[in-house]
Chains A and B, each alone.
Chain A
Amino acid sequence: MSQPDDTPGADGPTAADQPLGADEAELLAAFDRLRPQGSVRWAFDDAVRRVDRPDLDSSAGALPWGGLPDDLWDRGRSAQVGKRFVGDVARVLADILAADARAAADAAVGAVNGDRFVATWDALQYLSARVEALEARVDPLGLEAAEWSGPPPDQRAWADTVASWFDGVGPDGAAPGRGPDPGGTGPGSLAVVVGESGDGTLAAALRAAGRPVRAVDPRGTEVWRAFRDGGGPGAPGAGAVLDHVHRHLATLPDRSAAGVVLIGCVDRADLAGKVALVGDAVRVTASGGTVAVLTTDQRAWEASLPAPARDLARGRPFHPETWMLLLDRLGAVGPEWHRAPSGTVEAVVARVER
C-alpha cells in the first residue's frame, strides 16, 4: 500500500508536502556528528591501512604518457590558437610531471626494503596499542554515561542577571568603553552560545533581552523542548544544537560569538576538559564579548549525585577562585566572581578584548 495521508483535514497540507523540519534536521545531524570520520583514531586507521594496502589507493598505477597530441601543428597555426597551444603544452607537461610523480611513488612502494616496511608496520601497530592502552586507562569500562546521573544545575538564580553580562555590547560591535570595532568583528549582532542550555532558562532570558542565542545541549529531550517551545528566527527553537558543548565550540570559527555561557559541562569535565572548554570559549568570542562560567558549589554538587556517578565522574566543580585563575590564564580579561543570589550556582564572568 502507499503511505497514508497522516494529517487531519482533506484540504490541508499532507505530510508528504512537509519538508524536513529544523528540529528533525538537528536530530539527524546529532547522529552524524557521532561518526568517527576525521577523528584521530579514524585518521590513524586510515593511514595504517594505506600502508597495509597501498594498491587500493593507486589502483590505476602510473598513468602511461600518451605522447604529444596529434594535432599539435594545427593548433599552433594561428596566433589566436597559439594561446591555446601554450596552454596545451603546459597541460601536457603537467600530465607528464603528474605521471612521473605517480610512477615514482609507485616505484618507491614497490622497491621499498621489505624488512623496513615490516618494521614500520610493526612500529605503527605498537604505537596504536599504546594509545589504546592509554585510552583504556581513561575509561576502561566505557562508563561515560555515568555523567548523566546528576541533575542539571538550576539556572533560575541567574535568569535576571545573565543579560546584564552582555550590556554595552552594542549592535554596532562596540564594546563597553570602546569605539566601534573597526574590523567589523564585534559581537553586537552575534549570538551568545549557551552550553549546556538545559531547561532553557538562561537562553530564554537572553532572548528576552534581544540577544540571538545558540543553545547547545547533549540531551535530546532538552533540545527537543527548545524546538517545541517555538520556531522561526529568534524563537527558542532557532539555533538549538544537539551536541556536547566542547565538541560544538571546537567547530565554531574564531570571534564568531558575542560570548559564551558555560554551565553544567564545566562541572563534569576534568582539568584538560575544563581548559579546553574555556580556551575555546575565549577563542570564539569576539572582541568586547563575555565569557561566563557558572559553576556548582562543590558540596552541593556532591550531594546531588548518586555515589557511582560521584565516584566515576571525570571531573568535579572548581571553586570560583580557580575559575578566575583559569580565565585569566586563558586570555580573558578582568574575571569577576558573582556571588549566587540564591541557590548553589556561582558565576565567574570575564571579558574578551583583543
Chain B
Amino acid sequence: MSGGVHLFVPMLHRHDAVGEHTRALRDRLTAAGLASRIYTERPDPATRAETRPYLDYAADAEAGDVLVYQFATQSVIAGWLAARPEPVVVNYHSVTPPEFFGPWNNGITRGQVAALQELAHLAPTAALGIADSAFVADELRRAGCPRTVVVPVAGVSDPPVEPSGEALDRLRARHSGPGPRWLSVGRLAPNKAHHHTIAALFVARAEGAPDASLTLVGSPTEPAYAAALHRYAAALGLAGAVDFVSGVSDDELAAQYRTADVLVMLSDHEGFGVPLVEAMGHGLPIVAFDAGAVSEVLGDAGVLLDRKTPRHVASVVSNLLADPAERERLTGIGRARLAALDVGRAGERLFEAVRTVARPARGPA
C-alpha cells in the first residue's frame, strides 16, 4: 500500500479509551512499516510530543494517504476532513446523547449536539466506518455511513496488567474493613449513572450489608456532576464509604480490579464498556445494567440487569456476593468471553480493516 495512514483525534489523552485505542493503532501501523502520525485539534500537554496540529497535515499530505478519524466528540476536524480529497475512515466510538448532559452542563450539551450534526455530515462521505460494537455500528449506519465493520476498542491489555505487590498492599491496607467492596470504573459523567450505584450502596448498607463500600474510579469529566456525586454521598452519610479515585496508573487500576469484590456498572449509555472486559480479565464478578453495548460485550459473563432500582441492585449484588459458586461460574465464563471478544488482537483487526481502504498510489492531491 502506498502513502500513509494518519490518525486524527480532537485530543490525545493517556489512560483514556479513545486515546489508548488511537495509539495502539498508530503502533500497529508503524510496525507494519507504514507512515502514521497522530494529528489533533488541541494538544494535551501529556502527549504533545506524539501529536501535530491537524492543519499541518495539508503540508504533509502524500498521494495514497488514508485518514482515520477517531470520532467521539465535537471537533472542527470533522468538517475539515469532509472536505479533504483523501479517503476517510470514521472510527466511531459513539457520541453520548446530549440529553444526558442537558441538566448538568449546557456547554457540553451543545457540543454533543454539534458532534451529531458533524457525524451526519461526515458519515455519508466515509470510505469505511469502524465501530466499537454492533450497537455503535447501528448508530453509524443510521447517520448514513455506507459501509461499516465492528472492531472492539484497541489498547485493552489481554492478558491484563498484573498489579504490583506494592499497589495491592496499599489498597488492601486502605480497604481493610470487613464489608464487601464494590467497584465502579468510568468517567464521572451523567451517562455513567454513578449516582444509581451510590443509591444502591446506600440501600445495601441500610438493609443488610452495613460495611459495604464503593470505589469510584474515574476522572471528573463533568465537574457539576462530580460535585453532585460528592454531595449526594455526604448527604447519605456515605462520605467514608464511597472512595472517589482519579488519575490512576495502569498498575493502580489493575490493583483496584484485583482487590474489589464486584464490578457494578449501571451506565445508561455505553458504546463498548472497557471496564467489563478489564473486569473479566481480572476475574472480577460483574453486575451491569443492560444499556447500549453492555449485553453485547458482557454476554453471559455477569449478571445483566433489566432495571436498576436501588433495592433491586443492592439485592442482586448481595446475592451474588453470598454465592461463591455462582461467582466462580461467572468469572469462568468471563475468561472464555474475553477470548471470544479477541480484544488482544483489536489493533491487528483495526489494521486489517483500514488496509481495505488503501488504494494504489496516484498523483499528488
Query: B244 near A: Cβ within 8 Å?
Result: no
Complex interface: chain A residues within 8 A of B238 (CB): 220
Stretch at the interface among A20-28, A62-70, A80-88, A252-260: A20-28
Beta-carbon contact of A28 and B106 below 8 Å: no
B155-198: which have CB < 8 Å to A? 195-196, 198
Taking the closest CB of chain B, its distance from the CB of A119, in whole angstroms, is 22
Given A3-B303, A24-B203, CB of A219 within 8 Å of CB of B104: no
Beta-carbon contact of A37 and B103 below 8 Å: yes
Complex interface: chain A residues within 8 A of B236 (CB): 27, 219-221
CA distance A28 to B304 in the complex (A): 21
Beta-carbon contact of B104 and A30 below 8 Å: no
24 A–B pairs (Cβ distance < 8 Å), ordered by A: A1-B330, A2-B304, A3-B303, A4-B303, A6-B312, A15-B311, A15-B312, A18-B312, A20-B309, A27-B202, A28-B195, A28-B199, A31-B232, A32-B103, A34-B231, A37-B102, A42-B106, A49-B106, A49-B110, A53-B110, A56-B114, A59-B117, A219-B235, A220-B236
Query: B228 near A: Cβ within 8 Å?
Result: yes
Complex interface: chain A residues within 8 A of B302 (CB): 1
| A30 in complex: contacting residue of B235, B239, B319, B330, CB < 8 Å | B235
Beta-carbon contact of B199 and A24 below 8 Å: yes
Query: A228 near B: Cβ within 8 Å?
Result: yes
| B106 in complex: contacting residue of A16, A31, A45, CB < 8 Å | A45
Majority secondary structure of chain B interface residues (helix, strand, loop or mixed): helix
Query: B113 near A: Cβ within 8 Å?
Result: yes
Query: A148 near B: Cβ within 8 Å?
Result: yes
A47-84: which have CB < 8 Å to B? 49, 53, 56, 59
CB-nearest residue of chain A to B195: A31
Q: Using A16-B312, A218-B235 as known contacts, list a sample of 20 further A-B pairs with CB atoms less than 8 Å apart, ordered by residue number in A.
A: A3-B304, A3-B312, A3-B316, A16-B306, A18-B312, A24-B199, A27-B203, A31-B198, A31-B199, A31-B232, A34-B228, A34-B231, A36-B103, A36-B104, A37-B102, A37-B104, A56-B113, A56-B114, A59-B117, A220-B202
B272-302: which have CB < 8 Å to A? 300, 302
Beta-carbon contact of A24 and B235 below 8 Å: no
Taking the closest CB of chain B, its distance from the CB of A160, in whole angstroms, is 29
Beta-carbon contact of B319 and A148 below 8 Å: no
Given A37-B104, A59-B117, CB of A28 within 8 Å of CB of B310: yes
| A145 in complex: contacting residue of B228, B239, B304, B330, CB < 8 Å | B239
Beta-carbon contact of A24 and B310 below 8 Å: yes
CB-nearest residue of chain A to B234: A145
CA distance A27 to B200 in the complex (A): 10
By a beta-carbon cutoff of 8 Å, the part of chain A in contact with chain B is: 1-4, 6, 15-16, 18, 20-21, 24, 27-28, 30-32, 34-37, 42, 45-46, 49, 53, 56, 59, 145, 148, 218-221, 224, 228, 242
CB-nearest residue of chain B to A218: B235
CA distance A145 to B232 in the complex (A): 11
| B316 in complex: contacting residue of A4, A34, A145, CB < 8 Å | A4
Complex interface: chain A residues within 8 A of B107 (CB): 45, 49
Complex interface: chain A residues within 8 A of B232 (CB): 30-31, 34
Q: Mark B309-337, 1 if CB is under 8 A from A, else 0.
A: 11110011001100000000010000000
Complex interface: chain B residues within 8 A of A220 (CB): 202, 235-238
| B103 in complex: contacting residue of A4, A27, A35, A59, CB < 8 Å | A35
CA distance A20 to B312 in the complex (A): 9
Query: B150 near A: Cβ within 8 Å?
Result: no
Complex interface: chain A residues within 8 A of B309 (CB): 18, 20-21, 24
Complex interface: chain B residues within 8 A of A46 (CB): 106
Query: B339 near A: Cβ within 8 Å?
Result: no
